[in-house]
Structure formats: C-alpha cells, structure tokens
Structure 1
Amino acid sequence: MIKQNIVIDLPSGLQAKKAAEFVEKASSVDCNIFILKDEKTIEAKSIIGIMSAAIRFGEEITLVTDGCDEQSAIKVLASCL
C-alpha cells in the first residue's frame, strides 16, 4: 500500500473532463485506488464518487494505491492532479 498527499493543481479542480480522464486512467491499472478527502474514502474508479467529492483547486487529498501495479499507478495518477 502506498499513500501520497497531493494538493490539487487543476484550475477547475477534479471536475467533468478531468474527472473522466482520471477515472479512465485509474480503471486501466490492476490495483485498488482510493482518494481520502475530509475523512471520506472515495473509490477512484467511480466517476460518481469522484464527482460527488467535489475536489477543488488547492485542496489536499491523499491518494492510496494497493495491489500489484501500485507504484506505477500512483505515479501516473498523481501526475494527473
């Protein structure tokens, strides 16, 4: 399991198009991926979960990966944020 704190650097946050791109990349790797925000755990492969989290510019989240591709997954997904 790998955890990485990330400050969102997307001007519009993780909304609409960027959220869809993030979920697509998360779905392409073979590991469990979660976002921790405000004591909530969000499944990173769920567009509804991502959109309902309302992740905005400047907010800090924790990205968690767990599984056989966890190291490559965290690098790829962190670069999207």
Structure 2
Amino acid sequence: MQNENLQELIYKLEVCLKTARTLQDEMLNQYFLRYEPKENKQDKAFVIFDFERMGIFASLVHQQITLTEKRVNKIKMEELV
C-alpha cells in the first residue's frame, strides 16, 4: 500500500469517527441524559417530541460506523496484496 493512500484512508477514518462521536454526543447529552421520563411527566412529552430526530441521528451514526468498517477492511485487503 502506498504511504499516500494509507494517510488518506486514516484521515477519512478520523473524519468518520469524529462525525459519529459528535452525533453520539448530541444524542446522549441532548436526549438520553437530559430527560427523565420516569421521574418527570413533562419530560415524557419531550422524549416523544425528540424521538424522530434522535432516530435520524442514530441512523447517521450507523452510516459513519459502516463507512469506517469499509475503510478498515480496505486497509486490511490492501495490506494483504
């Protein structure tokens, strides 16, 4: 594998991981850690209201993880050649 290609793949991996981390932090801090629907009745409404938005974030995190896995597999395959 050329050093240049490896550097580029590593950069792309870093971008994917940073994106996934940012999205995950948003979900964790602005949804899961923010609301206590068992303790607070008003929080139940907020959980329902944000549910669809958090589903979109979860889908985006999944996409970033899938991209990262593909890039890691590409590195592995090129190392074998």
Q: Please, what TM-score do these two structures have when normalized by structure 2?
A: 0.26
Larger radius of gyration: 2
